[in-house]
Chains A and B, each alone.
Chain A
């Protein structure tokens, strides 16, 4: 074994443990899911048998699942827009060095550190129609006449309120990603702009925004992936009710309530493909604009 061969092999040796772990934990289950999606796998209707696109046909014929796709699109739209907008705004506010920035950052990161289930339980008390903080606060400022049932009655309001819980959780990561990008911008650029008479808004639009676009792209993809896969918040706050149901919740219901594992595999596969396609599209779109800027 000569030195040149060893040098060429070095990168492969270095990444091999990672490949083994990712392969075992990600690629093998994905491949298995892909294959099983074309089989009827139902413990109550054995044996397991090949049915081609049968699972997919059943899924598309199911009105609850079709509505869940629409609901999920709304979850994604709200989640991506709010978490990126709030993430950018908070990061810009924290860009200026101050004595309390570390403390504020630590507080902001807290929701990210909590498990989604815990957060959903906390918010279920906030939204509680009988003694929740939301009713109490809105009623005390005369914004509402009486106590309201916030979840489970109106489809779009239910989705909005559930997604707000997720935005509360995922925005801290957007803040960190965008703040890191903001801090890498040379202060000289701002000083030069200030000398030229640029105000804060102009400096944000002409300097900060173009340079943090890669970070915004990553924050967008992160929000997109998380909101497309929203489950815990929906399950805790709204149960398995079709109104406001997400596609991941329907994957759970198909698999573990209906015991239709083949259908669950097929739905998982579709969610994976949708996640990959949308993430790639978002990255391609945003990164191209960054390069143009």
Chain B
């Protein structure tokens, strides 16, 4: 039997070791000041976007001495990560995604640093038409870094096979043509619309409401969709009917991942996508390795109630979390990432090798001019006319601070209406009731 004294000493050694581990852990935390010089040489950028080409990031590092650690996280997961980190007041990135829908929330919670110190909103307005989307209570919460908006995409070959060569401009003609296209191509469900309970479903409702000629909230953030004749009500009805009548694949109510959803189009299992993202043609449908519809798809003006409808703009922005460790580095990066030349580069100015995958259009008009001047507009040329003439913001008054709860009510209720658990009228009432509660409490 081992001597208890020896055992005690050994146990004491274990405790001491544990203490040292704890001290080491504390040391690593306290050494953040000593590592600040090294951390000032690197930044972490967390966005729901692919990284720019490595060669260009290396150029940035060469110019500034700042190494960029790019973290690409799915949109829904990124929002959770931001909320968890910021509510715990912990560091997670130096620059992060500021979605258009989060501007009011971030301003009210103070989770992101206003950028007015470094960027002048007044002087940006003429070059960045969407910069106002990122301003809340005069605070610039993020810098727009693209001009993303929702589009309608079709497979020209499938439509031609059905004898549809002139694209429909009204939703009635669109619905009739889709049925013909499905029949001609042996597709049971020719249209993709995201119907899973995720942000994409909420955004699609705003888009379809725009196609019907309206917006879901008034300028006072009140419900504008309760009347059956309102665009919001009709849009929801149209989405639910499209699903129930079989235009949309039944499985879409479970396809939560955007990539999985667009795979249907890339594999030619559907002939059209509504509420698609500007950029999908170049980044998904025209990629030979994963698509069987290369050069067959195109964006078309979105069919509306009585002619071509509007397209909801949902630009992406980038901002600086309150807990960022390297604010100066993040500012330099945002300036570089959103400058005129780089914005044009991400869209194809220097050819395909320097394009950022899924990048739709530059946030700056000057970048667009550069693209046109150099005769290399790429995919942007298809989107230019749509955004210049048809794009509109989802809400007249910007995203309200309670947007996240509103969106949760929207997606769950439309999903329930599509799956037959409630009627469209009940879904509309439930969402309106949630808006009124949020307005009162928020």
Say yes or no: A130 contacts B111, CB within 8 Å. no
Identity of the chain A residue whose Cβ is nearest the Cβ of B12 in the assembled complex: A13
Known pairs A152-B254, A241-B197; A253 contacts B408 (CB<8 A):
yes
Among A16, A130, A153, A241, contact of B412 (Cβ-Cβ < 8 Å): A241
Interface membership of chain A positions 126-167, coded 1 if the CB is closer than 8 angstroms to chain B and 0 otherwise: 011110000000000000000001011100000000000000
The interface stretch among B154-162, B278-286, B356-364, B398-406 is B398-406
Say yes or no: B5 contacts A239, CB within 8 Å. no
Interface: B394 (CB within 8 A): no
CB-CB contacts below 8 Å: B223-274 with A = 249-251, 253-254, 256, 264, 269
CB distance from A256 to the nearest CB of B (A): 5
- A contact residues, total (Cβ < 8 Å): 38
Interface: B341 (CB within 8 A): no
Known pairs A240-B197, A259-B404; A152 contacts B87 (CB<8 A):
no
The interface stretch among B305-313, B327-335, B414-422 is B414-422
Known pairs A10-B4, A45-B442, A149-B251; A16 contacts B15 (CB<8 A):
yes
Interface: B196 (CB within 8 A): yes
Say yes or no: A152 contacts B419, CB within 8 Å. yes
Interface: B427 (CB within 8 A): no
Identity of the chain B residue whose Cβ is nearest the Cβ of A127 in the assembled complex: B254
A-B contact count (CB 8 A): 104
A64 to B442, CA, bound (A): 21
Known pairs A45-B441, A242-B416, A256-B80; A129 contacts B408 (CB<8 A):
no
CB-CB contacts below 8 Å: A47-94 with B = 64
Q: Contacts of B108 on A, CB cut-off 8 Å?
A: 43-44
Say yes or no: B15 contacts A17, CB within 8 Å. yes
Known pairs A6-B5, A258-B404, A259-B404; A243 contacts B419 (CB<8 A):
yes
Identity of the chain B residue whose Cβ is nearest the Cβ of A153 in the assembled complex: B419
Interface membership of chain A positions 207-249, coded 1 if the CB is closer than 8 angstroms to chain B and 0 otherwise: 0000000000000000000000000000011111111000000
Interface: A30 (CB within 8 A): no
Interface: B411 (CB within 8 A): yes
Say yes or no: B11 contacts A13, CB within 8 Å. yes
Identity of the chain B residue whose Cβ is nearest the Cβ of A135 in the assembled complex: B251
Say yes or no: B5 contacts A3, CB within 8 Å. yes
Interface membership of chain B positions 374-418, coded 1 if the CB is closer than 8 angstroms to chain A and 0 otherwise: 000000000000000000000000000110110010011001100
Interface membership of chain A positions 15-54, coded 1 if the CB is closer than 8 angstroms to chain B and 0 otherwise: 0110010000000000000000000000111000000000
A252 to B76, CA, bound (A): 13
Among B18, B105, B197, B249, contact of A44 (Cβ-Cβ < 8 Å): B105
Interface membership of chain B positions 82-121, coded 1 if the CB is closer than 8 angstroms to chain A and 0 otherwise: 0110110000000000000000010011010000000000
CB-CB contacts below 8 Å: A169-212 with B = none
Interface: B14 (CB within 8 A): yes
CB distance from B291 to the nearest CB of A (A): 16
Say yes or no: A242 contacts B412, CB within 8 Å. yes
CB distance from B206 to the nearest CB of A (A): 18
Say yes or no: A130 contacts B18, CB within 8 Å. no
CB-CB contacts below 8 Å: B104-163 with A = 105, 108-109, 111
Interface: A9 (CB within 8 A): yes
A128 to B264, CA, bound (A): 12
CB distance from A229 to the nearest CB of B (A): 18
A158 to B12, CA, bound (A): 54
Say yes or no: B14 contacts A44, CB within 8 Å. no
Say yes or no: B197 contacts A239, CB within 8 Å. yes
Say yes or no: B4 contacts A240, CB within 8 Å. no
CB distance from B247 to the nearest CB of A (A): 15
A281 to B236, CA, bound (A): 48
Q: Contacts of B8 on A, CB cut-off 8 Å?
A: 6, 9-10, 13
A44 to B421, CA, bound (A): 31
A210 to B55, CA, bound (A): 68
Interface: B198 (CB within 8 A): yes
Say yes or no: B416 contacts A149, CB within 8 Å. no
Known pairs A44-B105, A44-B401, A44-B402; A240 contacts B251 (CB<8 A):
no
A182 to B412, CA, bound (A): 48
A243 to B4, CA, bound (A): 60
Q: Contacts of B176 on A, CB cut-off 8 Å?
A: none
Say yes or no: A240 contacts B412, CB within 8 Å. yes
Query: Which of B111, B408, B420 counts the most A-chain CB atoms under 10 A from its CB?
Result: B408
Say yes or no: B421 contacts A243, CB within 8 Å. yes
CB distance from A77 to the nearest CB of B (A): 23
Known pairs A149-B254, A241-B412; A13 contacts B15 (CB<8 A):
yes
Among A124, A241, A257, contact of B415 (Cβ-Cβ < 8 Å): A241
CB distance from B23 to the nearest CB of A (A): 13
Interface: B7 (CB within 8 A): yes
Q: Contacts of A236 on B, CB cut-off 8 Å?
A: 256
Say yes or no: A44 contacts B419, CB within 8 Å. no
CB distance from A4 to the nearest CB of B (A): 10
Q: Contacts of A127 on B, CB cut-off 8 Å?
A: 254
CB-CB contacts below 8 Å: B424-442 with A = 441-442
Among A6, A9, A17, A240, contact of B408 (Cβ-Cβ < 8 Å): A240
Identity of the chain A residue whose Cβ is nearest the Cβ of B420 in the assembled complex: A153
Q: Contacts of B83 on A, CB cut-off 8 Å?
A: 256, 259
Q: Contacts of A239 on B, CB cut-off 8 Å?
A: 196-198, 254, 256, 415
CB distance from A185 to the nearest CB of B (A): 32
CB-CB contacts below 8 Å: A254-275 with B = 256-259, 261
Among A16, A130, A243, A257, contact of B416 (Cβ-Cβ < 8 Å): A243
Give B contacts to A, CB under 8 Å. Answer: 4-5, 7-8, 11-12, 14-15, 18, 79-80, 83-84, 86-87, 105, 108-109, 111, 196-198, 249-251, 253-254, 256, 264, 269, 401-402, 404-405, 408, 411-412, 415-416, 419-421, 441-442
Given A239-B196, A241-B253: 6 more A-B contacts, CB < 8 Å? A130-B251, A152-B415, A153-B419, A239-B197, A240-B198, A241-B415
19 contacts between A and B (CB under 8 A): A7-B4, A9-B8, A10-B7, A13-B15, A17-B14, A17-B15, A43-B87, A45-B441, A45-B442, A128-B251, A129-B249, A153-B420, A239-B198, A240-B197, A241-B197, A242-B412, A242-B416, A253-B408, A259-B83
Give A contacts to B, CB under 8 Å. Answer: 3, 6-7, 9-10, 13-14, 16-17, 20, 43-45, 64, 124, 127-130, 149, 151-153, 236-243, 252-253, 256-259, 261
Q: Which 4 A-B pairs have the closest CB atoms?
A: A129-B251, A239-B197, A43-B109, A149-B250
